[in-house]
């Protein structure tokens, strides 16, 4: 029995004698026994389900995520604790943060309530007690407000992405949390709350008649709600409350979008082709996905942000990145008995994903970038592609029309080291009259890439880039017929063996010629050469995108100040902006952007060419637009005269998209805009000289 005596403004309040609900007997049975039964059942079930999920996760293949502890702790502090990525959606994120931080603050009160106030009265120092009470009340208040707003959003202001979907599970959870919060205030009111630190509890006490029966009822409703919550957490999407923390902590510290080689040696570099010792390629079985990849299935919050930004989903294809993650968990749960016995289910994970979904991905990484708990969607799909391309080598009828053109591209890469199937000796013809070094040592090697070497439209970009570099007085060369495809399309298509062959060939060429600095106009070449080749021996080569070099030369005064004519918008290539992290240089190189698209920067919408989609046949139904058309419409809505691009594939896709909607916008590469300005400046200087004469 607790005697609570409070003096407020000199007025002696009534001494209240109130038993803790656990010390009350109910039908001759102590409340402690009821709590023991509830606790054993609910906590036992919770632990059983969590350990089952953990065992299913640990069936995954090896994945070294035990490095870079500083980076991991920082990521955990900002993404998990700080909710940085959650807050990128200010409305839904704000509500979630109120609940999340509220639960962190109130969680210790559960120990107090379950111990009959032993925690606060005996373990917690008296000096900290008022502050702790204030923190707990703030936590309950924050969680209650967050739940109330979220429930209203779900019921009254349902977002389009939630319409038509069952809200029962989410609504039940919200009501449970609201029950936990409101009953806590009643229990608090029965304990004589401090009006300074427990204002809501004090208000409840002064407003309502708080009796022993009221407190007892509130307490058991509170504890029952917690127990039901413990039952629901591991069998619902709220398992992310458990798995989000390890998911964030074990995030991929490698550069964004980087794929892993088939096999790594003890030094962390790729095993050469002739030394590969593998029995299988890619992932067709659940257990062939890495343990970290499997955690994703239980860490997903079902917020649908990945779905919202996916270009394949927006164009009506079968791929929904959120469903892929749900499939991982669903597959594990449905086949748990066989999996835990070490047996392979008849259904493989590729069948669960669906080949049409696997081949729809553009690998733009938007889903990965936007996920608030660092889920890695893309590697699951590219690992599946590796198996389909290198081991199974056959495809469902539903994707044959999509994938068959890609097979011709793969054959061209094998025979001619370019996707067009044009003989290699023609690779440097675009620069025949530019007086540039060919396959000779030079300070800068311009890596033209396949598009700029063979596509007529993009040859001009390559020529303008070389002209700009020579204008700045740089020692520049090209590789000519010794240049080979970087292998990006082969790798994203799943033919890792071909990619590694191309990579090893190019790196041998770089070493022979002494290449140290590479400039690339293609973001896919920029990413592959500068990021992915490091696993194969390209660690000492500096790779720049041409917009980065141009902007650097402008800042050094080796090129005129940036400028452009007309009204310009800019399309961020996925492999330069979101994946490569370069957002400012292309804009600065042309003197800024007059009007941005709705989706720009890291949030730019894909043109539809990535992930080897450039070489596949895209099919959409009558109710949806192709990916490039969706993007073209966004660009056209800006009202700009010109779309600046920094990628040959984006140039092609955006041009085709604008043409399909009868837009008159021009599409120009960064280099074209800069070279036009340089020529215009030169013309002005010559005209001024002529006038002076």
pLDDT score recorded for residue 543? 98
Residues 123, 226, single domain; the answer is: yes
Assess whether 630 and 579 both reside in one domain.
Answer: yes
- Domain termination site, one of 242, 267, 289: 242
Looking at the structure, do residues 166 and 211 belong to the same domain, yes or no? yes
Q: Indicate whether 437 pLDDT > 50.
A: yes
> Among candidates 390, 373, 374, which has minimal Cα distance to 382?
390
pTM exceeds 0.85: yes
Q: Is the pLDDT of residue 461 over 60?
A: yes
**How wide is the angle at C-alpha 368 spanned by C-alphas 364 and 374, nearest 5°?**
165
Q: Are residues 366 and 512 in the same domain?
A: no
Give mean pLDDT, residues 306-318: 97
What is the domain count for the chain?
Answer: 4
Token reading at 3: 């005697």
CATH, residue 574: 3.40.50
Same domain, 383 and 423: no
Are residues 357 and 291 part of one domain?
Answer: yes
Least confident window among 112-121, 439-448, 581-590:
112-121
Is 690 inside a domain boundary? no
Q: What is the pLDDT of residues 37-52, one digit of tens each?
A: 999 999 999 999 999 9
Banded pLDDT at 679 (limits 50, 70, 90)? very high
pLDDT at 353 over 90: yes
Residues 289 and 227 in one domain: no
Flag whether 400 is in a domain. Answer: no
Flag whether 406 is in a domain. no
Work out the average pLDDT over 232-238. 93
Q: What angle do CA 518, 532, 495 make, to 5 degrees?
A: 120
How many degrees, rounded to 5, is the angle at CA 326 between CA 249 and CA 335?
105
Query: Would you place residue 17 in the very low, low, confident or very high pLDDT band (cuts 50, 70, 90)?
Result: low
State the pairing for strand pair 642-645/666-669. parallel
pLDDT, one tens digit per residue, over 373-392 is 999 999 999 999 999 999 99
Closest CA to 329 of 56, 613, 549, 124: 56
Q: Are residues 56 and 186 in the same domain?
A: yes
What mean pLDDT comes out for the span 128-155?
A: 93
- Beta carbons of 370 and 305 less than 8 angstroms apart: yes
Tokens of 408: 């011709």
Percent of the chain with pLDDT over 70: 96
Q: What is the CATH number of the domain that holds 224?
A: 1.20.950
Of 13-17, 208-212, 480-484, the one with minimum mean pLDDT is: 13-17
What is the pLDDT, as a whole number, of residue 14?
36
**Lowest-confidence range among 162-166, 288-292, 567-571?**
162-166
Asked if residue 72 is part of any domain, the answer here is yes
Same domain, 300 and 358: yes
Considering the domain architecture, whether residues 507 and 609 belong to the same structural domain is answered as no
pLDDT tens, position by position, 513-556: 999 999 999 999 999 999 999 999 989 999 999 999 999 999 99
Confidence of residue 8 (pLDDT cuts 50, 70, 90): very low
Q: What is the DSSP string of 656-683?
A: HHHHHTT---EEEEHHHHHHHHHHHHHH
Least confident of 116-120, 574-578, 582-586: 116-120
Residue reference for tokens 């097979």: 407
* pLDDT category of residue 164 using cuts at 50, 70 and 90: low
Given pLDDT bands bounded at 50, 70 and 90, which one contains residue 684? confident
18 within domain boundaries? no
Tokens, residue 435 = 């007086």
- State which of 224, 242, 260 marks the end of a domain: 242
Residue 183: pLDDT band with limits 50, 70, 90: very high
At 259, the pLDDT band (50, 70, 90 cuts) reads: very high
Q: How confident is the model at residue 1 (pLDDT cuts 50, 70, 90)?
A: very low
**Is residue 21 scored above 80 in pLDDT?**
yes
Q: What is the pLDDT of residue 60?
A: 97
Residue 537 and residue 587 in one domain: no
- Kindly state the average pLDDT of the residues 389-413: 93
pLDDT of 152 higher than 60: yes
pLDDT category, 691, cuts 50, 70, 90?
A: low
Q: 511 is in which domain, residue-wise?
A: 418-555
pLDDT bucket at 6, cuts 50 / 70 / 90? very low
Let me know if residue 82 belongs to a domain: yes
Report, as an integer, the average pLDDT of 330-352.
97
The CATH number of the domain holding residue 370 is 1.10.1060.10
Residue 1 lies in a domain: no
562 in any annotated domain: no
What pLDDT, on the 0 to 100 scale, is given for residue 159? 78
234 lies in the same domain as 297: no
Per-residue model confidence (pLDDT) at position 511:
96
- Domain end, chosen from 555, 587, 603, is at 555
């Amino acid at each position: 029995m607790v005697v609570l005596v409070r003096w407020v403004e000199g007025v002696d309040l009534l001494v209240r004698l109130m038993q803790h609900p656990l010390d009350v007997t109910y039908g001759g049975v102590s409340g402690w026994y009821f709590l023991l039964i509830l606790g054993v059942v609910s906590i036992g079930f919770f632990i059983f389900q969590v350990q089952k999920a953990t065992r299913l996760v640990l069936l995954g293949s090896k994945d070294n995520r035990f490095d870079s502890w500083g980076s991991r702790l920082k990521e955990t502090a900002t993404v998990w604790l700080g909710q940085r990525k959650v807050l990128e959606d200010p409305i839904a994120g704000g509500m979630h943060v109120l609940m999340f931080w509220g639960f962190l603050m109130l969680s210790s009160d559960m120990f107090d309530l379950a111990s009959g106030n032993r925690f606060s009265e005996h373990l917690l120092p008296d000096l900290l007690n008022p502050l702790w009470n204030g923190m707990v009340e703030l936590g309950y208040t924050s969680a209650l407000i967050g739940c109330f707003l979220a429930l209203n959003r779900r019921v009254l202001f349902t977002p389009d992405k939630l319409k038509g979907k069952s809200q029962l599970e989410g609504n039940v959870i919200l009501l449970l949390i609201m029950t936990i919060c409101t009953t806590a205030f009643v229990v608090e009111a029965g304990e004589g709350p401090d009006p300074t630190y427990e204002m809501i509890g004090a208000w409840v006490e002064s407003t309502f008649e708080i009796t022993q029966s009221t407190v007892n009822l509130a307490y058991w409703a509170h504890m029952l709600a917690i127990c039901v919550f413990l039952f629901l957490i591991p069998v619902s999407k709220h398992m992310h409350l458990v798995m989000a923390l390890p998911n964030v902590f074990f995030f991929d510290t490698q550069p964004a979008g980087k794929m892993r080689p088939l096999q790594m040696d003890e030094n962390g570099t790729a095993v050469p082709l002739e030394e590969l010792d593998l029995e299988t390629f890619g992932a067709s079985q659940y257990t062939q996905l890495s343990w970290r990849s499997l955690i994703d299935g239980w860490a997903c919050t079902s917020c649908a942000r990945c779905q919202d930004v996916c270009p394949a989903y927006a164009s009506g294809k079968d791929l929904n990145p959120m469903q892929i993650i749900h499939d991982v968990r669903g597959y594990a749960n449905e086949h748990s008995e066989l999996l835990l016995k070490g047996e392979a289910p008849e259904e493989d994970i590729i069948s669960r994903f669906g080949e049409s979904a696997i081949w729809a991905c553009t690998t733009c990484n938007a889903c990965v970038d936007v996920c608030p708990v660092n889920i890695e969607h893309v590697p699951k799909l590219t690992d599946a592609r590796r198996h389909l391309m290198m081991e199974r080598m056959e495809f469902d009828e539903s994707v044959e029309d999509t994938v068959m053109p890609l097979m011709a591209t793969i054959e061209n890469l094998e025979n001619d080291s370019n996707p067009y199937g044009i003989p290699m000796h023609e690779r440097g013809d675009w620069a025949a009259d530019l007086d540039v070094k060919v396959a000779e040592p030079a300070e800068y090697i311009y890596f033209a890439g396949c598009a700029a070497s063979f596509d007529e439209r993009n040859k001009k970009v390559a020529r303008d880039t070389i002209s700009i570099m020579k204008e700045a007085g740089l020692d520049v060369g090209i590789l000519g017929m010794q240049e080979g495809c970087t292998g990006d399309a082969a790798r994203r298509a799943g033919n890792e063996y071909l990619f590694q062959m191309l990579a090893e060939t190019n790196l041998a060429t770089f070493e022979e010629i002494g290449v140290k600095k590479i400039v690339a106009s293609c973001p896919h070449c920029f990413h592959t050469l500068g990021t992915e080749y490091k696993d194969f021996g390209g660690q000492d080569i500096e790779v720049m995108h041409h917009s980065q070099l141009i902007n650097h030369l402008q800042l050094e005064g080796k090129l005129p100040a940036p400028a452009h004519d007309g009204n310009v918008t800019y399309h961020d290539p996925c492999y330069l902006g979101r994946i490569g992290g370069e957002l400012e240089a292309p804009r600065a190189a042309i003197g800024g952007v007059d009007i941005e698209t709705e989706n720009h920067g890291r949030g730019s919408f894909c043109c539809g060419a990535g992930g080897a989609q450039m070489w596949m046949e895209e099919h959409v139904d009558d109710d949806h637009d192709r990916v490039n058309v969706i993007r073209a419409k966004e660009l056209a809505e800006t009202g700009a005269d010109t779309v600046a691009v920094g990628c040959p594939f984006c140039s092609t896709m955006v041009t085709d998209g604008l043409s399909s909607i009868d837009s008159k916008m021009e599409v120009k590469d960064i280099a074209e805009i800069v070279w036009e300005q340089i020529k215009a400046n030169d013309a002005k200087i010559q005209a001024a000289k002529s006038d002076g004469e």
